[in-house]
Amino acid sequence: MASSEVKSAIQAIESTPAADKPSRYTSLLQTILTSSTSSNLTPSLIAYAQSLLGDSLGIVASRPLLAAFVDQFRKVKDSDVKIEVGQQVLQLLAPKVVSYEEQDTQIKEILADSFEEQEDFRSSAKVLQTITLDSSQRNVSNDDKAKVWIRIVRCYLEEEDPTSAFSYLNRVKNVIYSVQDKSTRLMFQLSQARIHDSQRAFLDASQAYYTLSLESIVDEEERLQALSSAIVCAVLAPAGPQRARTLAKLYKDERANQVDEFSILEKMFLDRLLSPAEVKAFAAKLSPHHLAKTADGSTVLDKAVLEHNLLGASKLYNNIGIDQLGELLGIDADKAEDYAAKMLEQGRLAGYIDQIDRLIFFEGEGSGERKTGHAERVVGKELRKWDANVQGLAEEVEKVTTMIQNHHPDFYASQMVH
């Protein structure tokens, strides 16, 4: 409860002539902020706001006083005080928010800051959502709208709620083309990357993080962190041609060897098999959602490594028994066959499965396109073999011709004349 001195001062002000009230309200606010103890600061500020927004003052007189109150309220150190007082003031403003829209917005921003100080990001997001952005009383630019929406997105991402974050990111997408503030545009890129990441769209996330890592206005350390995140997402992406292109781009970046993930990036780019120890070391640095269980009981990382090792095996063997493949990958044969079949069907691996002899035949790089039938694969295989044989014969003839030219130039010249 407000101190008796504050109550008496408020009653005295309310009974004074209107011309004297502004100066006396200003004086009382300074007294409350400098003299109140931590225990009675909250009720004193609430009592002050109730009087300020009561019937003793008109809107014209109270609006500048409320603006001054907001400026001083922002400087209060205790976040608990700001939360309790801010919520009470917003309730007082609710019926008359049209008249005090600017101050209402500022108090909501202060309240959101206080919730974030206490790591209550969901409450912060809910307060920010109530800010009036389509206003007839004040001009709200697309930059201002985007800043509020991006902040809401980041709060929901801190709460591991990508679904809610995505709905507000879509609002930003509608205005981002006209946003001038560079930091807001960067936060949009980062938020987009984080949402892709949390939704396990790892190739899209990797591209978004990599784009951010190239922004010159971002600090060098943060750019390297973005590059690191791009590599992590590329490693976790489904094995196949698209991921191979992403890995190649990251591996060729001259900064790649400065991040901890370079070792696993190099092995994946070079199609080397990953050992359990390497996978365990990499897993220790991942976020919780990267290690979440999938429908078959494995983690996203487990699946990514298994698919990579399966792709690596296709580089080492023309064909392999399903049982032997299971041993190589460290899983049972049926699971190895399921993974191989899925990758073959999706075009991320080229080849076919002979289920009678329990063999998997590999046919080079996957096309990235979904396959429609075994006959198509067999015909394609024979055509590729024919083309490869013709190319090999032509190369051998070229080598022989070059050797003759180098060792017997006169004979070569005489033959070329004819």
Q: Is residue 399 part of a domain?
A: yes
Domain boundary among 97, 117, 137: 117
- pLDDT tens track for 376-408: 444 455 566 677 778 888 888 888 888 887 887
Q: What pLDDT does residue 370 have?
A: 53
Q: What pLDDT does residue 2 have?
A: 60
- pLDDT tens track for 313-329: 888 888 888 888 888 87
- pLDDT tens track for 336-355: 788 788 888 877 778 888 88
Q: Which amino acid is at 368?
A: G
Compute CA 41 distance to the chain's CA centroid, rounded to the nearest angstrom. 40
CA distance 326 to 334: 8
- pLDDT tens track for 97-116: 888 888 999 999 999 999 99
pLDDT score of 52 more than 50:
yes
Domain boundary among 89, 117, 145: 117
What is the torsional sign of CA 222, 223, 228, 234?
A: positive
Q: Is residue 52 part of a domain?
A: yes
Q: Is residue 35 part of a domain?
A: yes
Q: What pLDDT does residue 379 have?
A: 45
Q: Please state, rounded to an integer, the average pLDDT across all residues of the chain.
A: 84
**pLDDT classification of 285: cutoffs 50, 70, 90:** confident
CA distance 85 to 102: 18
Domain boundary among 117, 146, 170: 117
Write down the pTM of the prediction. Answer: 0.71
Per the CB < 8 A criterion, the answer to whether 191 and 169 are in contact is yes
pLDDT score of 38 more than 70:
no
Q: Which residue has the higher pLDDT, 124 or 8?
A: 124
Q: Which tokens belong to 411? A: 């004979």
Which domain, by its residues, includes 6? Answer: 1-117
Average pLDDT over residues 49-58: 81
Q: Is residue 37 part of a domain?
A: yes
Q: What pLDDT does residue 315 have?
A: 80
> In the sheet that 319-321 helps form, which strands lie side by side, from edge to edge?
319-321, 359-362, 351-354
Domain count, the chain: 2
Q: Is residue 313 part of a domain?
A: no
| Pairing of β 319-321 and β 359-362 | antiparallel
Q: What pLDDT does residue 417 have?
A: 59
Q: Is residue 39 part of a domain?
A: yes
Q: Is 30 exposed, middle or buried (0-12, 13-18, 19+ CB in 10 A)?
A: exposed
Q: Is residue 96 part of a domain?
A: yes
40-44, 207-211, 412-416: range with lowest mean pLDDT: 412-416
Q: Is residue 144 part of a domain?
A: no
Q: What pLDDT does residue 380 have?
A: 55
Q: What pLDDT does residue 20 have?
A: 82
